[in-house]
């Protein structure tokens, strides 16, 4: 048997210290999330009833259920996904597979990075000017969703582009040698192998879209509407804005109700993310490399 030298023991101690450091860093990220969820469940579980989930709001949102806000949030997230995912994936395909490496594409990449750092309130003002006033959509689900789509577009583009570039170039060259066109290669080989990474961007978009308040409060979210939207040109309530209103502008709302709305919102986001992650894991398991 080999006897550990002083250098071996020193390396083991250093490795142990780094392991503990990384564990502490992980706990710093995880523990606050657990605490937040625990507080929401403890203070808000009493408000979660069938009536709370399915009834219309009453008394300006002070009483009744959150069904209009729940449905409105699903409307906003769904329309925003329909608007941003196809455009974001198409943009990433062009930048990754077609665009030459020159000053113009570098400017585009820089603009995408800068767009990701723009505050949400600035996106809200852009949405008012572009979609509410210029395109005359008015304060509506469509205007609010398009504003959210513009805000989250950089996330989809960056995630998709990184996923496309992670596909080995040998896959492309094999298709080209067989006589396939560039688009056939992208559609039948590159995209199927990159779809699990694309879903990462979609997951991040869902989380941010469902929880944003500023971009929708000027473009389509209403303080109180006791009925469901009938089309994308209607205004709607939303969970994030409803939580903001009952926490700051409506007196006399029970604390249990506020925490209950927050618990429903975060549960909805987690459920959407869980479905996307499960689908991503399924697709990743079918990869051959």
pLDDT tens sequence across 187-208: 888 988 888 888 888 888 888 8
Clarify whether residues 247 and 279 are in a common domain. yes
Asked if residue 43 and residue 134 are part of one domain, the reply reads no
Dist. CA 188–CA 208, nearest whole Å: 31
Q: Residue 1: inside a domain, yes or no?
A: no
Domain count, the chain: 2
In this structure, what token pair is assigned to residue 89?
A: 């994936």
Q: In sequence order, what are the beta bridge partners of 236?
A: 221
pLDDT for residue 95 is more than 70:
yes
Asked whether the predicted pLDDT for residue 6 surpasses 70, the reply is yes
Question: Under a CB-based contact definition with an 8 Å cutoff, are residues 194 and 286 in contact?
Answer: no
* Domain interval for residue 26: 6-47
> Do the domain assignments include residue 12?
yes
Same domain for 36 and 56, yes or no, is no
d(CA 182, CA 175): 9
Lowest mean pLDDT among 111-125, 194-208, 230-244, 260-274: 194-208
Query: Can you read off the two tokens belonging to residue 120?
Result: 């949400």
Contact present, 72 and 229 (Cβ < 8 Å): yes
Residue 265 near residue 73, CB atoms below 8 Å: yes
pTM of the predicted protein model? 0.87
CA separation for the pair 186, 198 (Å, rounded)? 14
Condensed to tens digits (0 to 9), the pLDDT of residues 42-59 reads 999 888 988 888 888 877
Q: Tell me, yes or no, whether 35 lies in a domain.
A: yes
Please check whether residues 151 and 280 belong to one and the same domain: yes
Q: Which one of 31, 47, 63 terminates a domain?
A: 47
Which CATH number goes with the domain that contains 203?
1.10.3720.10
Cα distance between residue 109 and residue 95, in whole Å: 8
- Residues contacting residue 92 through CB under 8 Å, at least 6 positions apart: 156, 157, 158, 160, 161, 164
Asked if 43 and 180 sit in the same domain, the reply is no
Mean pLDDT, rounded, of the chain: 88
Report d(CA 74, CA 57) in Å as an integer: 17
For residue 108, how far is the Cα from the chain centroid? 22
Residue 119 and residue 40 share a domain? no
Indicate whether 24 and 100 sit together in one domain: no
Q: How far is CA 289 from CA 92, 167, 168, 171, 192, in A?
A: 22, 9, 9, 11, 12
Q: What percent of the chain stands above pLDDT 90?
A: 39
Q: What confidence tens digit (pLDDT) does each residue in 148-194 have? A: 999 999 989 998 998 898 888 888 888 888 888 889 999 888 988 88
One-letter-per-residue 3-state SS of the chain: CCCCCHHHHHHHHHHHHHHHHHHHHHHHHHHHHHHHHHHHHHHHHHHCCHHHHHCCEEHHHCEECCHHHHHHHHHHHHHHHHHHHHHHHHHHHHHHHHCCCCHHHHHHHHHHHHHHCCCHHHHHHHHHHHHHHHCCCCCCHHHHHHHHHHHHHHHHHHHHHHHHHHCCHHHHHHHHHCCCCHHHHHHHHHHHHHHHHHHHHHHHHHHHHHHCCHHHHCCCECCCCCCCCCCCCCCECCHHHHHHHHHHCCCCCCHHHHHHHHHHHHHHHHHHHHHHHHHHHHHHHCCCC
Q: Are 221 and 238 in contact (CB under 8 A)?
A: yes
Asked whether residue 34 falls in the same domain as residue 111, the answer is no
Supply the pLDDT for residue 21. 95
Same domain, 91 and 232: yes
């Amino acid at each position: 048997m080999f006897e550990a030298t002083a250098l071996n023991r020193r390396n083991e101690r250093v490795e142990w210290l780094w392991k503990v450091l990384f564990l502490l860093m992980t706990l710093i990220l995880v523990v606050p999330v657990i605490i937040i969820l625990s507080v929401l469940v403890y203070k808000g579980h009493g408000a979660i009833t069938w009536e709370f989930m399915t009834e219309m709001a009453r008394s300006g949102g002070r009483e009744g259920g959150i069904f209009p806000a729940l449905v409105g949030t699903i409307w906003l997230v769904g329309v925003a996904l329909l608007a941003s995912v196809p455009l974001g994936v198409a943009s990433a395909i062009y930048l990754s597979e077609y665009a030459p490496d020159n000053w113009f594409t570098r400017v585009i990449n820089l603009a995408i990075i800068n767009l990701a750092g723009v505050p949400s309130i600035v996106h809200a003002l852009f949405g008012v000017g572009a979609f509410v006033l210029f395109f005359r959509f008015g304060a509506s689900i469509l205007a609010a969703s398009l504003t959210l789509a513009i805000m989250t577009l950089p996330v989809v583009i960056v995630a998709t582009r990184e996923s496309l570039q992670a596909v080995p170039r040998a896959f492309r060259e094999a298709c080209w040698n067989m006589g396939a066109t560039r688009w056939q290669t992208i559609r039948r080989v590159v995209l199927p192998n990159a779809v699990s990474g694309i879903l990462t961007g979609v997951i991040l978009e869902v989380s941010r879209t469902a929880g944003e308040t500023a971009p929708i409060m000027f473009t389509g979210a209403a303080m109180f509407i006791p009925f469901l939207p009938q089309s994308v040109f209607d205004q709607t309530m939303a969970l994030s804005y409803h939580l903001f209103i009952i926490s700051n502008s409506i007196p006399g709302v029970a604390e249990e109700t506020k925490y209950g709305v927050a618990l429903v919102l975060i549960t909805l986001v987690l459920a959407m993310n869980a479905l996307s992650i499960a689908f991503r894991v399924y697709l990743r398991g079918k990869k051959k490399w």
